[in-house]
Amino acid sequence: MNDLDLLSDYRFLEEINRQIETSKQNELGNKKKSFNELKYFQKLIQNKLKILGSIQILYLPRFSTKHKQNQMWFDKKTNDIFWHIECQFFINTFYTWTITNLSTNETTLLNILKKFHNHLNETSNINDELILLKLKNFSHEQQICIYIENFGQKRKQFGKYEKRSFNTIIDLFHERIFIEYPILFISLINDENNMKEYLYKKTISN
């Protein structure tokens, strides 16, 4: 191998190293840009909730499971939040169902129940007929009650559950706090005390 060959190999290695460094810088830049965009949209959501109902949303660290699951987003064109709502239906234990991509006006209890029944009829994989029948009983607003977790400012209020009524999700969390996205604990009126006891046991076990 002569000097020209060595020089050619050296230049080739230099070019490879340069491309690797450029790729790393681009990747780092994209991650930083993505993170900044995420923080920007989180801020838009926080400001909008504060204006609409003095609602405070808290965000967990990026690596946390709940943060990764969160699909709430803000549409700048419509100036509206699109919601991620987790519903916990009580049937002696909780059946979890999540709905996403709801505009604020669509977050009425009636609409949520309607979409839940569409889920049961079309896409659910529930093989137990008894469970399915129990879940289908959640059909009328007047027959159910809603609880949320009350993350109050005072420490003694933290982690307690509170019964609320609402027109939209804004009414439900008016002057309240939620973490990442709302969670609704839903029972039939006849089952309310059983759900409260279940939630109480859950609280003291944590």
Q: Across the chain, what does the average pLDDT equal?
A: 82
- For residue 114, the model assigns a pLDDT of 95
- Computed over its alpha carbons, how large is the radius of gyration of the chain? 24
Nearby residues of 124 by Cβ (< 8 Å), 6 or more positions away: 132
Residue 120, pLDDT > 70, answer yes
Report the SS3 class of residue 174: coil
How confident is residue 174, by pLDDT bands cut at 50, 70 and 90? very high
Query: Which tens digit of pLDDT belongs to each residue from 85-110?
Result: 999 999 999 999 999 999 999 999 99
Lowest-confidence range among 108-122, 124-138, 147-161, 181-195? 147-161
- pLDDT score recorded for residue 7: 41
Both structure tokens of 54: 């003095």
Q: CA 1 to CA 20: how far, in whole Å?
A: 27
Containing H/E element for 162? strand 160-164
d(CA 167, CA 154): 27
pLDDT tens string 164-173: 988 899 999 9
* Beta strand ranges found along 25-176 (DSSP E): 56-58, 73-75, 80-90, 94-103, 144-150, 160-164
178-194 tens-digit pLDDT? 999 999 999 999 999 99
Q: In the predicted model, is pLDDT for residue 61 greater than 90?
A: no
Domain 53-205 in CATH 3.10.20:
yes
